[in-house]
Structure 1
Amino acid sequence: MRIADATTFESTLDFAKEQDRLDPLSRFRGKFHLPTDASGKPLIYFCGNSLGLQPKQTEAYIQQELNDWANLGVEGHVDATNPWMPYHESLSAQMAKIVGAKSHEVVIMNTLTVNLHLMMVSFYRPTKKRYKIIVETDAFPSDKYAVRSQIKHHGFDPDAGLIEWKPRPGEQLCRLEDLEALMQTHGKEIALVMVGNTNYYSGQYYPIDQITTLGHEHGAKVGIDLAHGVGNIQPNLHENGPDFAVWCTYKYLNSGPGSLGGCFVHERHANNKDINRFTGWWGHNKQTRFNMRHEFDPIPGAEGWQLSNPPILSMAAIKASLAIFEEAGMDNLREKSIKLTGFLEFLIDSLKDDRISIITPRNPELRGCQLSITVREATKDFHQKLTDAGIISDWREPDVIRVAPTPLYNTFEEVFEFVTRLKRILN
């Protein structure tokens, strides 16, 4: 038997429990620590879009490295159970599966905005005539700060150099045809199209393949911020072909607060040693890395953008989470996510309360697991009532509650209970 889809949803607790019973991924919930209330009862945690929960095996993965450090000292670089020298390489294959890339196109390093700056050093090469960057209007603030600072760094006016892809008046979502119009108008001036593919505010998923094709047709480079997409949707980066992508690992990838980011560089750039870049010794040819007197010789692929040797303790937490993703499989997780979020949408619609609206696209192919819900005339006090009712979600000004049922550890019953408590607060 298979989990129901949107055509057969029912707004009952028995139905939700039956879906959980039929869920082939239900066992993965037991692999995570669940936040609890004062009585020890699990809270409804719908905030994986901000910080993912801790896998129970993370402690053991980190403890292994602590033990090897204690027992081996510097020799752990080669003699640890998981030798530290090539440690980051062990993450690439699993990470590549999640983002739809080849292993040599992916590297775990630094943090998201650092990686974004490093990528713009290489792929934002402005000229007097072609220096502008397009971003979506509700890009995460860090992206806008980084982009504006890069424009300014190259001697241009950020106000003139930054073009925003905006929703139409009275609408919440961006339309691809409006991006096409911007490119028609400004195409010869655009050096980089830099889009956060799953918008943090609206939850809208922007089609990477069409955006990449559009940017390249007009002579621009294309970069993707996957902070809210990685481990959530399937970006198929190699096939869709952006020049680069960056992401964090602490949201849907459950690697812990402030953990490392990831980076994708398409293989068409893999062997180009002439690409301008900021360099560091860990991006240097592995065969001569420890002969300190060689000129920089970049490793082919994404590894060539590394700066420093990897922080093993943080990588151990990533390794613990990626092992779970490997076991569960992104195809399976995406299938459940569509149904779980679809059930949430169905139940909210079933309330028939005109105070509530969903700004996230209705088409499951144009969103991840997050629904962004507005409650007319609500303030942050309304969100506090949800928190007091045992629901961990996220409030974004001026009036959006972001709710993200995550397929690895959330259940259909939790979705039902969330809407039940929401209805109670509304009444």
Structure 2
Amino acid sequence: MNLENNLIFAKAQDDADELKDFRKQFLFPKHIDKEFIYLCGNSLGLQPKVAKEVLNSQLDNWANYAVEGWFDGNEPWMFYHKELKKLMAPIVGASPDEVCPMNTLTVNLHLLMVSFYQPKGKRFKIIMEGGAFPSDQYAIESQVRFHGFDPRDAIVEVFPREGEDVLRTEDISAKIQENGDEIALVLFGGINYYTGQWYDMEMITKVGHSVGAIVGWDLAHAAGNVPVKLHDWDVDFACWCSYKYQNSGPGGISGIFVHEKHFGNSKLNRFAGWWGYQENKRFKMQKGFVPEAGADGWQISCTQVMPMALHHASLQIFEKAGFITPLRIKSIALTEYLEFIINQVNKELDIDQYKIITPQNSKDRGAQLSIIAKQKGKQIFDGLIESHILGDWREPNVIRLSPVPLYNSFEDVYLTGQALLKVSKQILKSN
């Protein structure tokens, strides 16, 4: 397709978009009674309009049933998480038994590392991407220290080559093979939060397994964004949040994945709680932890009903949209159009002001483009906000823009380009 930098073209794409009506199911933030063009779903997804309804429904259950709500009503809380599991599984390429909604992301990362980071002898190292999100860095560092190792010895980070912005898969593979039988765990983010690079998860998992390591993934920026196949790729474990691309509210419920091949492994450590105990005997209150089958056996505390209700509402929107495949097709088209528009802005400015550091090939990225602003970046970002364009700023000079296929349009992308050009001319000219 020949892309065009004009409103007629953008509106024509929107008219042909089979997903366009899903935009009506979300609430957009406003400034001075005008809606923002919201391009920050990579940080916090928009609120589904049905969110208040589902919360009020659960508040009514609480009011009408009180403690009996665990077993009475249309959606007894005791079993509520099972409704979510059916809808979570297609989003991450798993079976319902392999996933479970629980806790928050970094808590789950710690719980899974208790099970899957088991250093023995000279096999104690963890391979991770350099520049991972701080929570991952802190969690891994503290787990390593907990086992008595110095992070400087136990954590091996893989950085891009000098002068490059993203990692090469061959460099990741080489680093894994180089450390070989010293690696206990390979733990990457599926998509890097800063650059937006989607790592070759299947290949990295395969290479990690080839040297005898466990392989896990933090899918904070990948779940609900790109098609992943955790079961088929033989991933050992994964976890993710639900408040970015899955639109389940700030601090929303997290999810975990544990491959079914580990279900019968009694040698796995785990921090146990009563909600992970086998369901049919849970209320006998007996000593001696016996885990529930599947990923549910990693639960600790009882169902977080309100966050799960919000997540349930959002997951049902995904189901109506056909889950990830149709969303991915639109996402690729939106980011390709955004890339085209950014390049057009550079041409209009007649300078190389903006550099996209997210991989150019759509198979290596999701819905986010990370853009270096070479001059006056923060001023330009603030100018975009004043122009009702809400993206995301990352120090020292990166603007992250994320057109989300459930609620963003081609017109959004076009108008963002127009605003960026206008703001850039004003600020760069004045300086």
Check whether TM > 0.5.
Answer: yes
CA distance in 1, matches of 2:330, 2:414: 16
Matches within 5 A, 1:350-361: 350-351=344-345, 352=347, 353-361=351-359
* 2:257 counterpart SS class: strand
Query: 1:337 pairs with 324, 327, 331, which one?
Result: 331
CA distance in 2, matches of 1:302, 1:269: 9
CA distance in 2, matches of 1:378, 1:167: 25
Which is worse superposed, 332-341 or 273-282? Answer: 273-282
The answer to whether structure 1 residue 348 and structure 2 residue 342 are counterparts is yes
Letter in 2 for 1:23: D
* 1:332 counterpart SS class: helix
Letter in 2 for 1:312: V
Equivalent residues of 1:109, 1:306 under 8 A apart: yes
CA distance in 1, matches of 2:185, 2:267: 19
* 2:282 counterpart SS class: coil
Query: 2:23 pairs with 21, 29, 37, which one?
Result: 29
Query: 1:407 pairs with 402, 405, 408, which one?
Result: 405
Letter in 2 for 1:389: S
* 2:48 counterpart SS class: coil
CA distance in 2, matches of 1:258, 1:264: 19
- 2:286 corresponding residue in structure 1: 293
- 2:260 corresponding residue in structure 1: 267
Matches within 5 A, 1:71-110: 71-110=64-103
Q: 5+ unaligned residues in a row in structure 1: which ranges? A: 1-6
Relative to the length of structure 1, the TM-score reads: 0.97
CA distance in 1, matches of 2:420, 2:215: 40
The alpha-carbon deviation at position 387 of structure 1 amounts to: 1.1
Matches within 5 A, 1:165-176: 165-176=158-169
Which is worse superposed, 360-369 or 341-350? Answer: 341-350
What per-residue deviation string (whole Å, max 9, x for no partner) do you get for residues 298-321 of structure 1? 112110100011110111000110
CA distance in 1, matches of 2:265, 2:293: 8
The answer to whether structure 1 residue 220 and structure 2 residue 213 are counterparts is yes
CA distance in 2, matches of 1:376, 1:196: 27
The alpha-carbon deviation at position 41 of structure 1 amounts to: 2.0
Identity score, percent: 51
The alpha-carbon deviation at position 82 of structure 1 amounts to: 0.9
The alpha-carbon deviation at position 362 of structure 1 amounts to: 0.6
Letter in 2 for 1:390: H
Letter in 1 for 2:330: K
- 2:148 corresponding residue in structure 1: 155
* 1:237 counterpart SS class: coil
Matches within 5 A, 1:275-424: 275-329=268-322, 330-351=324-345, 352=347, 353-424=351-422
| Root-mean-square deviation over aligned CA pairs | 0.9
CA distance in 2, matches of 1:238, 1:183: 22
Letter in 2 for 1:266: H
CA distance in 2, matches of 1:412, 1:379: 24
Equivalent residues of 1:288, 1:294 under 8 A apart: no
The alpha-carbon deviation at position 381 of structure 1 amounts to: 2.2
Matches within 5 A, 1:219-238: 219-238=212-231
* 1:24 counterpart SS class: coil
Which is worse superposed, 99-108 or 124-133? Answer: 124-133
- 2:245 corresponding residue in structure 1: 252
Which is worse superposed, 270-279 or 320-329? Answer: 270-279
- 2:428 corresponding residue in structure 1: none
CA distance in 2, matches of 1:87, 1:136: 36
CA distance in 1, matches of 2:8, 2:143: 54
- 2:8 corresponding residue in structure 1: 14
Equivalent residues of 2:127, 2:176 under 8 A apart: no
Letter in 2 for 1:66: L
The alpha-carbon deviation at position 121 of structure 1 amounts to: 0.4
CA distance in 2, matches of 1:340, 1:139: 26
What per-residue deviation string (whole Å, max 9, x for no partner) do you get for residues 178-207 of structure 1? 112212221111111000011100000001
Query: 2:109 pairs with 107, 110, 116, which one?
Result: 116
Equivalent residues of 2:276, 2:299 under 8 A apart: yes
CA distance in 2, matches of 1:42, 1:227: 27
Equivalent residues of 2:377, 2:398 under 8 A apart: no
What per-residue deviation string (whole Å, max 9, x for no partner) do you get for residues 136-189 of structure 1? 012101000000100000000011111111100010000111112212221111
- 1:3 corresponding residue in structure 2: none
Letter in 2 for 1:357: K
* 2:31 counterpart SS class: coil
Q: 5+ unaligned residues in a row in structure 2: which ranges? A: 426-431
The alpha-carbon deviation at position 294 of structure 1 amounts to: 3.9
CA distance in 2, matches of 1:47, 1:84: 32
CA distance in 1, matches of 2:2, 2:336: 11
Query: 1:42 pairs with 35, 38, 43, which one?
Result: 35
CA distance in 2, matches of 1:408, 1:61: 20
